[in-house]
A = this chain, B = another copy of it.
Amino acid sequence: MSTDYRPMWRSLGLDLEAHDALLGVLGPLYEQTFTRQPNRPAGMQYFDFVMSEVHGLRIQELLDAKAAGRKVVGAYCTFVPEEIVLALDAVLVGLCAGAEFATPEVEKYLPRNTCSLIKGAFGFALARVCPYLSASDVVVGENTCDGKKKGYEIFREFVPQLYVMDLPQTKSREGRALMRAEFQRFAGFLETLTGKTLTADALKKGIAVVNAKRSVMHRLASLRRADPAPVSGLDGLLMNQIYFYDDPVRFTSSVSAICDELEQRVERREGVAREGAPRILMSGCPMAVPNWKLPTIVEQAGAVIVGEESCVGERGTQRLTDDTGQTLDDLFDALVDRYLQIDCAIFTPNASRVEHVLSMAGSLRVDGVIHYGLQFCSPYQIEAGPVERRLEKEGLPTLRIDTDYGQEDVGQIQTRVEAFVERLRG
């Protein structure tokens, strides 16, 4: 970052020393993980730039938006409907949760046996190193897993305004009614926050923007079917991560540009790995920035990741919302139709998730699946067993990796991943 953002960070109440320490780790980690990859598409430069300015220019944009009267809504989950946020001329941004920070302080509030993602969210807040959190007019929590649901009760103390969205646990009629009511309650809350009134026209536009963003991710996913893979799994993940931070329209056109480039690569049979390299689908818990540990190990072992069945991945981007309705009622129904299909492990049963994994595995022509479970994430860790048994039964080699944000197990994971990649080669 060439600009001096320190006055901005100070004005946001960040702990400058701790924040410097964070950037001092993040920069080199990014450099080492991403920029040295062989044969990267040129279009990835845009994402390098975004990442280099992720705590700088993007925050300045949010502050400019606020100065122009727009509200900033921070969130941690793919269930929060960006369509409604955009329709009220507000901005939705993902909040920091991809690294553990200030863990001794966090463990004054949370049990040690809490997953890294939740500890990470607490750590960024307590250490005052997430400018997105500081720039948010409201933080939206959601009743997904026990850890988040109960954690938000405490998190409330750390932020000026927390709004919690309830979610159903099943896709029953009552579960649907609950989500419908909650989306409407959320819209009402945002109307008060923004001082604007939601109209069907504005919601249609919001849906169109998000549909476009999801569509371009579908295009990206379909290009990753090619062998050789035209883009690495790390870069694929990175785009899925930036999905949560960037301006949606600019993001869409940037991914579209890279898709044009990848299309040419596919035509030329050019890729980031040699043809026939073992192709892997990642499935499981979300990977927030800068949680790149596992995909780095996988691709360093000579495999290429061609898809992410994850909230930061296809679980979050699959399916468009029908925007043909003419009334708010129709459009809310359409939103619920779409969001209720998310295959999150908080639902029981969640049979469509493994079907989605199988369908992705087929269309992406993968050789194996790595199931990524965050330690102490009961929903995905418990689901991992049945998912693994079903995939293996269908002839898909599956490796389960349960880990956290620590680096202690890197050697162990490398050994297991290398053996798995060998199995896929065999």
Looking at the complex, which of A169-177, A249-257, A267-275 is the stretch in contact with chain B?
A169-177
A146 — nearest CB in chain B belongs to which residue? B378
A113 — nearest CB in chain B belongs to which residue? B376
**20 A–B contacts from the bound complex (CB under 8 Å):** A109-B385, A113-B113, A113-B376, A114-B382, A150-B379, A150-B383, A151-B382, A152-B348, A153-B349, A153-B350, A166-B170, A166-B172, A166-B174, A168-B178, A172-B181, A173-B181, A177-B178, A178-B178, A376-B376, A378-B378
Inside 8 A of A301's CB, which chain B residues have their CB? Answer: none
A109-B385, A385-B154, A386-B153 known; A147+B378 contact, CB < 8 A: yes
Inside 8 A of A382's CB, which chain B residues have their CB? Answer: 110-111, 114, 146-147, 150-151, 153-154
Decide if A169 touches B154 in the complex (CB within 8 Å): no
A170 — nearest CB in chain B belongs to which residue? B166
Decide if B143 touches A169 in the complex (CB within 8 Å): yes
Any B CB within 8 A of the CB of A345: yes
Any B CB within 8 A of the CB of A375: yes
Decide if A169 touches B167 in the complex (CB within 8 Å): yes
Give complex CA distance A110, B386 in Å. Answer: 10
Inside 8 A of A258's CB, which chain B residues have their CB? Answer: none
Inside 8 A of A349's CB, which chain B residues have their CB? Answer: 153
Decide if B174 touches A181 in the complex (CB within 8 Å): yes
Inside 8 A of A111's CB, which chain B residues have their CB? Answer: 373, 378, 381-382, 384, 402
Any B CB within 8 A of the CB of A70: no
Inside 8 A of A177's CB, which chain B residues have their CB? Answer: 174, 177-178
| Residues 376-395 of chain A, each 1 if its beta carbon lies under 8 Å from chain B, else 0 | 10110111111000000000
Separation in Å of the A388 CB from the closest CB of chain B? 11
| Residues 147-188 of chain A, each 1 if its beta carbon lies under 8 Å from chain B, else 0 | 101111110000000001011111011110110011000000
Inside 8 A of A175's CB, which chain B residues have their CB? Answer: 166, 178
Inside 8 A of A173's CB, which chain B residues have their CB? Answer: 181
